[in-house]
Structure 1
Amino acid sequence: MFEFDQYLGFLAFLAILTIGFWLMIFLLMFVVPYWLGGNLMEMYKERKAKKRAEREAS
């Protein structure tokens, strides 16, 4: 059926595929929400600073 080197190549392919799948799940579950939350917080701080600067100027 399979030679030994084909079997090792198939196992390497499965390992790489599995690592890629779990990396994608990790990025979607933790990194993307962290990035979005930080981005929204920075936008809020910038708007707050802009309003404060407008209030002090007038």
Structure 2
Amino acid sequence: MFEFDQYLGFLAFLTIATIGFWLMIFLLTFVVPYWVGGSIIEMIKEKKEAKRKKQEALNK
């Protein structure tokens, strides 16, 4: 059926495909939401800071 070098090639393909699959699952479930959430929090902080500075400028 398979010769030994074909068997090793098939195992290498399965290993790389499996690693890629789990990497994509990890990125889509943890890394991307963490990145998006952090950027949203930073945007909110920047808007609050700009609003606070504007309010301080009006009070002076």
Task: Tell me the C-alpha RMSD between the 2 structures.
Answer: 0.5
The aligned length equals 58
Q: Structure 1 segments of 4 or more deviating over 2 A?
A: none
Partner of 1:18: 18
**Deviation per CA, 1:15-42, whole angstroms, max 9, x where unpaired?**
0000000000000000011001100000
- Per-residue deviation, 1:47: 0.1
Same amino acid, percent of matched pairs: 74
CA distance in 2, matches of 1:46, 1:28: 27
What TM-score, normalized by structure 1, do the two folds share? 0.97
* Residue ranges of structure 2 left out of the alignment (5+ in a row): none
* Residue ranges of structure 1 left out of the alignment (5+ in a row): none
Partner of 2:57: 57
- Per-residue deviation, 1:2: 1.2
Secondary structure of the structure 2 residue equivalent to 1:11: helix
What TM-score, normalized by structure 2, do the two folds share? 0.94
